[in-house]
């Protein structure tokens, strides 16, 4: 499906992000309050079979890339079974997963064997105590072990997602850049969005990616643009002499809404045109009454037609109160 934009530009639905759970084993300071949030009752969470039905309809509608998210997707039991179902859908060319990596180590070989192709690991610090503070209890060693297990399992390129916060972890930018240069990491610096627990801190914590790029180039020299599989909205570069890459995802300072080709499916069956959408289309009732493929395709097309050509979030906007865990971060 293609959508006509102002000025004659077109974008095509190609990418579906699926949140398989609203639960998480960490409490990252910019995402969730320390005590957590009320969880959706389990009977209102999409089953794996319902998720697969939506994914099959999405493939018919033109989707070629599915990413599994959460919450933390690996806390949901038997995720390998869902990966097997999705990997068997004709037309889907890429199946990936975003995780905090803590539970990834033992599961990486099974996920790869089931048909998962790539993994993104969210990692906001390389310092154990700081990592523990940001995640409220996470163990850096487990996340790093999960990242390396994914690389050994062939889930490449493994991308390392870093949400950068002024005065919190922005002094580690060059440490991450060094890992891209010497260890082949594919690091992506992500601007903090005023969503969930970060809504009240965004103005204080926000730092534009252009400033980070300037810091990296001051240390390493000019960055060379490079294409990377599944790069999405990231502007991706290679460090001089480096084997990995550095990407910059800038949803606030450089809106990429006009080229956004994705929809989001929440764990409780809402189809969202955008991360910043105030509400979505309800798929759960349709699925529970036995919706046909054609009905699901129509819903996907309708949601895509509802996408705007820009969002209204900013570091000073007040933000959205729901956390990323609720909408598939």
**278-287 pLDDT, tens per residue?**
678 999 999 9
Distances (CA, A) of 212 to 144, 191, 194, 219, 250: 23, 10, 19, 11, 11
Average pLDDT over residues 24-44: 88
**Can you state the angle between helices 48-60 and 79-87, rounded to 10 degrees?**
20
3-state SS class at 209: helix
Q: Domain-by-domain residue ranges, the chain?
A: 2-327
State which CATH number among 3.40.50.1820, 3.30.450.40, 3.40.50.620, 3.20.20.70 fits the domain covering 2-327. Answer: 3.20.20.70
pTM of the predicted structure, to 2 decimals? 0.90
* Residue (of 196, 315, 323) closest to 253 by Cα position: 315
Do the Cβ atoms of 95 and 112 come closer than 8 Å? no
- Whether the pLDDT of residue 6 is over 50: the answer is no
**78-114 pLDDT, tens per residue?**
999 999 999 999 999 999 999 999 999 999 999 999 9
Q: How far apart are CA 263 and CA 15, in angstroms?
A: 7
Instruction: Supply the pLDDT for residue 281.
Output: 95
Q: Percentages helix, strand, coil for the chain, rounded to the nearest 5?
A: 35, 20, 45
* Residue (of 271, 248, 147, 121) closest to 188 by Cα position: 248
Residue whose entry in the numeric block shows the structure tokens 């398989």: 20
**271-321 pLDDT, tens per residue?**
999 877 767 899 999 999 999 999 999 999 999 998 866 545 544 444 444
Provide Rg for the chain, Cα atoms: 19
Count Cβ atoms within 10 A of the Cβ of residue 107 and give its class: 0-12 exposed, 13-18 middle, 19 or more buried.
buried
Instruction: Identify the band that residue 119 occupies on the pLDDT scale cut at 50, 70 and 90.
Output: very high
**120-150 pLDDT, tens per residue?**
999 999 999 999 999 999 999 999 999 999 9
């Amino acid at each position: 499906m293609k959508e006509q934009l102002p000025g004659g530009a077109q974008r095509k639905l190609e990418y579906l992000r699926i949140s398989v759970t609203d639960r998480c084993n960490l409490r990252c300071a910019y995402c969730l309050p320390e005590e957590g949030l009320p969880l959706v009752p389990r009977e209102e969470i999409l089953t794996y079979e319902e998720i697969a039905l939506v994914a099959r309809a999405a493939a018919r509608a033109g989707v070629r890339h599915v990413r599994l998210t959460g919450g933390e997707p690996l806390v949901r039991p038997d995720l390998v079974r869902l990966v097997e179902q999705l990997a068997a859908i004709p037309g889907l060319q890429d199946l990936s997963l975003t995780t905090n990596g803590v539970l990834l180590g033992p599961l990486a070989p099974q996920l790869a064997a089931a048909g998962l192709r790539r993994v993104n690991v969210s990692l906001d610090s390389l310092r154990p105590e700081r990592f523990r503070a940001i995640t409220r209890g996470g163990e850096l060693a487990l996340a790093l072990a999960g990242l390396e297990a994914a690389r050994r399992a062939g889930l490449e390129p493994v991308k390392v997602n870093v949400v950068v916060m002024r005065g919190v972890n922005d002094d580690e930018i060059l440490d991450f850049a060094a890992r891209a240069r010497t260890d082949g990491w594919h690091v992506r610096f992500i601007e903090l969005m005023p969503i969930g627990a970060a809504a009240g801190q965004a103005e204080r914590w926000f730092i534009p990616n252009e400033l980070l790029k300037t810091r990296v180039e001051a240390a390493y020299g000019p960055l060379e643009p490079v294409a990377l599989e599944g790069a999405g909205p990231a502007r991706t570069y290679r460090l001089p002499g480096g084997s990995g890459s550095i990407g910059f995802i800038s949803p606030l300072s450089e809106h990429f809404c006009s080229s956004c080709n994705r929809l989001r499916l929440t764990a409780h069956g809402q189809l969202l045109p955008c991360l910043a959408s105030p509400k979505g289309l309800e798929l759960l009732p349709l699925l529970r009454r036995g919706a046909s493929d054609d009905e699901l395709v129509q819903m996907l097309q309708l949601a895509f037609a509802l996408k705007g050509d820009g969002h209204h979030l900013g570091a000073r906007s007040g933000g959205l109160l729901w956390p990323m865990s609720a909408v598939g971060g």
